[in-house]
Homo-oligomer: A and B are copies of this chain.
Amino acid sequence: MTARIADLGEGITLDELRLATRNHGMPLEALRYDVTPAGLHYLLTHYDIPFAEPETWRLELPDQIISLAQLRELPQVSHTVTLECAGNGRARLAPRPISQPWLDEAVGCATWTGTPLAPLLGDVPGDAVDVVFTGADHGLDRGVEQDYQRALSVAEASRRDVLLAYEMNGQPLLPQHGAPVRLIVPGWYGMTHVKWLRRVEFSTELFRGFQQAVAYRINGEPVTRIQPRALMIPPGFPDFMTRHRTVEAGHTTLSGRTWSGLAPIIRVEVSTDDGLSWHDAKVGPPPERYAWQHWEYEWVAKPGDYVLSVRATDADGHQQPVDQPWNSQGMANNTAQRVPVTVRS
């Protein structure tokens, strides 16, 4: 997923629209769920969804070829993990990088069940640098024909919580989420969680495939872990076309979720004056290290027009920016959400 740059103010292009009608975000009212139901979780498919029969599917591992039935006989582990597209928020940048035009909604939190990858890597060759993951989805990007591929360092791939997942929320993976088996790398942006997995292999050199060396890069480096973010459930009710919100005056609980792939979130702040002043919200603990955390804030809403905003800070001191540094592919940007509302009496 690479990007070209649109002039400031240029309308959304037909190329972007084609992607936006296929792929979809999570409607933000679904932030109410600890675990995102099927069909509400965000979804980005690079090429076409490939369809594999679970009975005939095989995974090539460094030392063996394994079937789904064999994979299911191995020790089973579940992790609840927030996944976010590395391009989330891209369409708000100016000038706008042209690719999948996400606003705020390319996120979801699901429970993934599978078996740890590490034991299946076998004896790691002494000269191995990267572990390369190949999916079944096939297409062209910037003239390069490819099966979708990403790599992890041997150390990262050997983490105990990296899974070969075959279930999402207790059900076999849906076709669009990578059936029958996908990679789950808790804490990393979505491009690393390779769907429709077919092959896992060692590389004795730093992997230079398209999705690592050309796409999914920021400031000359491959995109890795998820930057901190908090999102709120837009309060009140929307206008169909503009999505502008109307809120009843009085006590209103603002709430939502927050997450970071870098460290747990320790602070969420809410602004009701478009970032002039910030107030601490209550933040719940992570139910699991990479599951999103609940936050809430009591607002006494008086009639008028407001821009609500929320920002998160993690335990390592990373805080969401209010003014986003720009990058050419629109990757890993995490500007604080802004929700314009009108409060009526």
A contact set with B: CB distance below 8 Å: 1-2, 10-25, 27, 29-30, 32, 37-41, 43, 45-49, 51, 91, 98-99, 101-103, 105, 138-141, 145, 174-177, 234, 237-243, 246
A99 CA / B243 CA spacing, docked (Å): 12
A16 CA / B16 CA spacing, docked (Å): 12
Question: Smallest CB–CB gap between A251 and chain B, Å?
Answer: 20
A23 CA / B45 CA spacing, docked (Å): 16
Question: Smallest CB–CB gap between A93 and chain B, Å?
Answer: 13
A306 CA / B39 CA spacing, docked (Å): 34
Are A139 and B240 in touch, CB under 8 angstroms? yes
CB-contact partner of A102 in B21, B40, B48, B91, under 8 A: B21
Are A48 and B176 in touch, CB under 8 angstroms? no
CB-contact partner of A239 in B29, B102, B141, under 8 A: B141
Are A238 and B140 in touch, CB under 8 angstroms? yes
Chain B residue nearest to A16 (CB atoms) is B12
CB-contact partner of A140 in B15, B174, B234, B240, under 8 A: B240
Are B175 and A238 in touch, CB under 8 angstroms? no
Question: Smallest CB–CB gap between A256 and chain B, Å?
Answer: 14
A24 CA / B242 CA spacing, docked (Å): 17
Question: Smallest CB–CB gap between A284 and chain B, Å?
Answer: 20
A141 CA / B102 CA spacing, docked (Å): 24
Are B20 and A21 in touch, CB under 8 angstroms? yes
Known: A24-B22, A45-B27. A242 touches B40 (CB 8 A): no
CB-contact partner of A13 in B12, B39, B234, under 8 A: B12
Known: A48-B27, A239-B141, A242-B15. A21 touches B176 (CB 8 A): no
Hey, which chain B residues are within 8 Å of A20, CB to CB? 17, 20-21
Known: A38-B38, A174-B39, A241-B141. A29 touches B13 (CB 8 A): no
Are B40 and A175 in touch, CB under 8 angstroms? yes
Chain B residue nearest to A10 (CB atoms) is B11
Chain B residue nearest to A215 (CB atoms) is B240
CB-contact partner of A103 in B12, B18, B51, under 8 A: B18
Known: A24-B22, A39-B43. A15 touches B49 (CB 8 A): no
Are B240 and A39 in touch, CB under 8 angstroms? no
